[in-house]
Structure 1
Amino acid sequence: MTPISFSPWEMFLNAGPVVRCVMTLLAVASLLTWTILIAKSVELLRIRLQLNRAERALANAGTLDLGEEWTREHGGIAHRLVMAAEAERRQSHDIPDDREGLKERIVLHLERLEAAEGRRLMGGTGLLATIGATSPFIGLFGTVWGIMTSFTGIAASKATSLAVVAPGIAEALLATALGLVAAIPAVVIYNHLARQSAACRAQVADLTALVMRLVSRDLGRMQALTASGQVVRLGASRMAGE
């Protein structure tokens, strides 16, 4: 009599159609988990390098115009933040003596861009949360179904030997094992990517602060120029009166 093989592949081939579908689904979920890890890790690494370069450019820029010029080659969220501040400043040119109002409008616009970037950074990780939460239950369903099928087969054959029931139960328990194999890495990888995304969001917040510093600096210069112009006009009017 040929001995029964209990290798995972043989148990998969010998399992019933429902249990086999469950195992296939869990294997696909596990493959997606590792694919997302690789893709998101590469994406977040590229974004962090881009944010570092943009942060240095904005820190060294003296004006918002220079910030726009120096972040143009980097692109990404840094350039969008600068362009949003520049656009709001242009649209508010006809509102006199509105420094605080202009700052408030720019902050609101930048906060919206910052929130959108945060959502984009977390894109794709929701699938990991779904896999981590549902895979154990999907595997348990396969196990329950497989054990139920094994016991109904025993009842039909009227054989009570452990050698008869053991293969079916082993195949069913493999579904639970695959559920854990899919769920545990998904949860760990989700938490890892969430921490990396949070670090990137913190850098985006730093860029927002740098942009607002440039805006405040430009507005201060404009106010100083306006004040000096008023002083010059006042002196000229006094000289003309004399």
Structure 2
Amino acid sequence: MAEGSLQGRKQQTNEHFTRADELMWAALDLFAERGFASVTIKDIAHTIGVNTALIYYYFESKEDLFRATVENAVVRALDNYKTLREKHDDPVDLINDWFYNNLQLSDPIRKLVKIMLDYSSSRINFPSVDCLIKQFYDEECSILSDSIRRGIAAGTFKPADADRLALFVSTHLDGIMAAAMIRPEFDLGAAIADLRDLLWQHLGVSESADPRTAGVDHLRSPGTSI
């Protein structure tokens, strides 16, 4: 194949993914805002100013677009978790960065949580989506439980049930994200910092003992500490 033809093929591939990603991000916003049942292909096309035919060029149906949108969002989250694992060897640093990461990405995470709630109560079912959602929560809990176990083994943390504690944090983080969608004045940064502080208290780690545990204190608004 000629070099020019190969470059042209690569450019077409990149454009395909760029436009498909644009469509999926627009769909993510609308599915989160209105719910799957209320959103139409025409709504999505109108939002980004394209013809509905373009959406059908990339996706067979609204259901196919929904599946691809959720899969894309979850895969991005899983890639982010992988990056966090590779970035830190120290369990305290990893957990602190995990909390901070959830605040930094709170907008897409809130949308994903809302979509997953809507999906779980709907009549639609995609085995691939079910598998990825399970993988998302399994990996989230795994990051926390593995870090807690390593901290316990190193003598940094008090003995604890790592799996149960990780599930507690993961579950309550979903609650925080839901509260941020429901309550306009909700301080998301303070709530995440408070959840982190509760974890450190349970593990017997204080800020005075290890200043790294203060890693997300700047997320609080003044006067919001517990």
Same fold (TM over 0.5): no
Per residue, is there more helix in 1 or in 2?
Answer: 1
